[in-house]
Amino acid sequence: MNYQYIFRQKQVAVSVTKRNIILFGVPNYPNLGDQAILVAEKKFIEKNFPDANLIMISETDTASCLWQIKSAITSDDLIMYQGGGNTGSLYPLSERNRRFLIRKMNNQRIIIFPQSIFFEDNLVGRYEQCLSSKVYKQNSKLTLAVRENYSLTRAKIIFPTTKCILVPDIVFSLMGTLSNQPVHKLPQKALLVLRDDEESCLTAPFKSELTAMLGKRFSTISTTDTMAQNVDVNRMSLLNEKWAEFSEADLVVTDRLHGMLFAILTERPCLVFANNNHKIESTISTWLQDTERIKLVNTRSMQAIEKVIDDLKWQSKDDLRELEQKYVPLKKVIQG
């Protein structure tokens, strides 16, 4: 990264007449949840700060773009970093890019969009946590937004000198922007959106048993994922296609945080299984306690899961518009 920073510099169009908001960490990897975060961040900035010059820098260009930005921006400009669930040791490249940015821009105001924090309780996790703790404290103008209560508690311990604010995952801000189909009175189609990576807690035999149980209750069972190719050039069309796929389902079953959030955006009832960290459970307990169409499943009993399905409020439209007010702290820190 130091080599890219010094020798492989890329040109960036920094405005000299407008306030610049430079968003680093733009995802060019195939997770549509992260792409939805980026779309929501862009809309959030454009809606609330329409006069700003928004510059977006991909995560892989962090070092190569940083030199020119550092030499061109003023104290009125703002550095921001992509939100998500990669503050920690599970995705070390993202955390190292973020640390590099904070270290090189230690006198500039930086705001990190809502993140979840998870450092593994092992040698690697403790080492990465120590490095991040040391780097974050080097910038007294750093603000870390976290998206649920567990991460807020961890942030206060790991980053005691860093200003932390609690706001919902930025994808919640897209609520009400999609046109959705009604859920059938007699549910017909179930959509499975299940992980197949290191964050999954569901075994292959359990997934097979779950699919078989749902097959007895629904006429159609479909599977999908929130991964896609060529996301950096087809981001919006891929998201619209995915949201249309969710909107056609009568029930979403997922262990992905943004599988759950896509269900909320498309107003679908949703069964949610926890993954191997806290972010799903803590998001629900922080923001969705009274939501009737989102149910967290902590059992592996098919009979119990069927009971949860029976208790879902199929036609209910949960009013989550009050979450819009929860972004006020984020607006205030961006305003400066």
Give the CA distances from residue 78 to residues 42, 110, 133, 219, in Å, rounded to whole numbers and listed in that order.
Answer: 14, 6, 22, 52
pLDDT value at residue 85: 95
For residue range 25-40, what is the model confidence (pLDDT) as tens digits?
999 888 999 999 999 9
CA 160 to chain centre: 23
Q: How confident is the model at residue 320 (pLDDT cuts 50, 70, 90)?
A: confident
Contact indicator for 226, 16 with CB cutoff of 8 Å: no
Average pLDDT, the chain: 94
Give residue-wise pLDDT tens across range 68-108: 999 999 999 999 999 999 999 999 999 999 999 999 999 99
Per-residue confidence (pLDDT) for residue 316, from 0 to 100: 57
Mean pLDDT of the 155-176 span: 97
Outline where DSSP puts E strands in the chain: 20-26, 53-58, 78-81, 84-88, 110-118, 142-146, 163-166, 189-193, 220-223, 251-254, 270-273, 294-297
Between CA 20 and CA 74 the distance in angstroms is 9
From edge to edge, which strands make up the β-sheet containing 294-297?
220-223, 189-193, 251-254, 270-273, 294-297
Structure tokens at 65: 């773009």
- The pLDDT of residue 183 is 76
